[in-house]
Structure 1
Amino acid sequence: MSPTPAKGSTNTNPSSLSFYALIKEDFKTHECDFFSQGFWAVFNHRLGNWRMKLKYKIIRIPFTVLYNTHKKLIQITCGIKLDYTVKLGRRVKIEHFGGMIIGANTIGDDVIIRQNTTMGIKNLNNLEGKPHIGNSVSIGAGAVIVGDITIGDHCVIGPNTVVYQDIPPYSTVYPAIPTIITRTNN
């Protein structure tokens, strides 16, 4: 049995499409908007993975410099952090920009992610404990998804929801309903 390659050492772009076809599909997913910040974050992610298929490090160096420079520009100008080590499916749409830390282990196909979303570790004791997002998941604005958990296929994660446990497929998760407390003047 061959050893598992280190995370980030291989091209994890979907293999069913060429790099060009994948970028074309991502562009269409982002409504053919050349100025979509989400498109540029996904494009850079795809570039970061594509460069890992280059066998010789010396050939990969210019693409690594381009990837790292572009990644930092996207973080500064768009407020989106999406490292190439996230295994990203097809037709993932970053619908809005700003305040986004997308540090999942995997994100499936046809996922929509909205602004101010955070995905990542739950605590410093498990730095690899990041979420797995299924296919056709809709993630609302301000959602926080943390820990080594699985969000099942076809789930809806409502706005401002904090998720730290597994969610079964076809579930809808919303935060507690706000309660209005009336105040009387005495």
Structure 2
Amino acid sequence: MFRWVKTMREDIQVVFDQDPAARSSIEVFLTYSGLHAIWAHRLAHNCFKRRLFFLARVISQISRFFTGIEIHPGAKIGRRFFIDHGMGVVIGETCEIGNNVTIFQGVTLGGTGKEKGKRHPTIKDYALIATGAKVLGSITIGEHSKVGAGSVVLHDVPPNSTVVGIPGRVVIQDGVKIKNDLDHCNLPDPVADRFKELERELAELQNELKQLKERKIESGHPTL
């Protein structure tokens, strides 16, 4: 019992550490849905480990109804896990989440099909997954890594990296910029960059075609 109380106090303190809007312990205790979802999951996970699968799912579904956060009872979650806001968060059965991990609303830690066994992501300590990101499959997000808002990550992410885009690509690793730093309002867009590159190539081809036409006309052959 004492361990549970200690863990709940630790969870409340994480909210104060992560959310500047938190004003009092009673406010956090009563109104933070992410906190309620984590506590309900711990209860459901204990039932799941005791093979009380139906009871575990009932607890998780009641929690989902009240919080808008769906965490499968089988997911393994470490200490000081923080869900900011949280509506629409989905965490799959074989997910493994380390300590001091932060995720935002709309995040999906899901699978990619009907495969058996380990089919959901492993999120290492101190990772951050921003709003609306999708991390899919049995992949690993390394320690201290960040996943940008709206990104879709399908491959392993090394430690100390920042990933953005669809599909997710590493833009910072070990403090060295590969593209740009994580900015929720101005993320690099690899797809848009590729379109710009194609537009430049198209403009070059059009210019070459124009020059060929002009040379044909000058040589007395107006048609190609």
Indicate whether the TM-score tops 0.5.
yes
Question: Structure 1 residues 146, 21: closer, same or farther in 2, change over 3 A?
Answer: same
Which residue number in structure 1 is paired with residue 72 of structure 2? 83
Residues 48 and 74, structure 2, Cα contact 8 Å, conserved in 1: no
Counterpart for residue 21 of structure 1: 6
RMSD in angstroms over aligned alpha carbons? Answer: 2.7
Match of 1:3 in 2: none
What TM-score comes out, normalization by structure 2 length?
Answer: 0.62
Q: 1:167 to 1:141 in 2, by over 3 A?
A: same
Q: CA deviation at 1:68?
A: 4.6
2:32 maps to which residue? 36
Residues 137, 154 of structure 1: 8 Å contact kept: yes
CA contact (8 A) 1:155 1:172 kept: yes
Normalized per residue, the structure richer in helix is 2
2:21 is matched with which residue? none
Shift of 1:76: 1.9
2:98 matches 1:102: no
Equivalent position of 1:172 in the other structure: 162
Give deviations 1:45-73, integer Å, cap 9, x for gaps: 1122345677xx8xx79xx75x5554223
Q: Is the 8 Å Cα contact of residues 19 and 50 (structure 1) preserved in structure 2?
A: no
- Taking a change above 3 Å as real, the CA distance of residues 136 and 50 of structure 1, as seen in their structure-2 partners, is same
Q: CA deviation at 1:97?
A: 1.9
Q: How many residue pairs align between the two structures?
A: 158
Displacement of 1:124 in angstroms is 1.6
Partner of 2:144: 154
Identity of aligned residues (%): 30
Cα distance, 1:111–1:76 mapped onto 2, change above 3 Å: same
Distance between the aligned counterparts of 1:179 and 1:113, measured in 2?
26
**Structure 2: gaps of 5 or more residues:** 17-24, 166-187, 196-224
Unaligned runs of 5+ in 1: 1-16, 182-186
Tell me what 2:133 maps to. 143
Q: How does 1:58-73 map to 2 (within 5 A)?
A: 65=55, 68-73=57-62
Distance, in Å, in 2 between the alignment partners of 1:139 and 1:52 is 26
Shift, 1:20, TM fit:
2.2
Aligned to 1:48: 44
User: Whose relative contact order is higher, 1 or 2, with alpha carbons under 8 Å and at least 6 apart?
Assistant: 1
C-alpha distance in 1 between matches for 2:157 and 2:141: 5
Match of 1:7 in 2: none
TM-score (norm 1): 0.74
Q: Evaluate the alpha carbon distance shift between residue 121 and residue 167 of structure 1 in structure 2; reply closer, same or farther with a 3 A threshold.
A: same
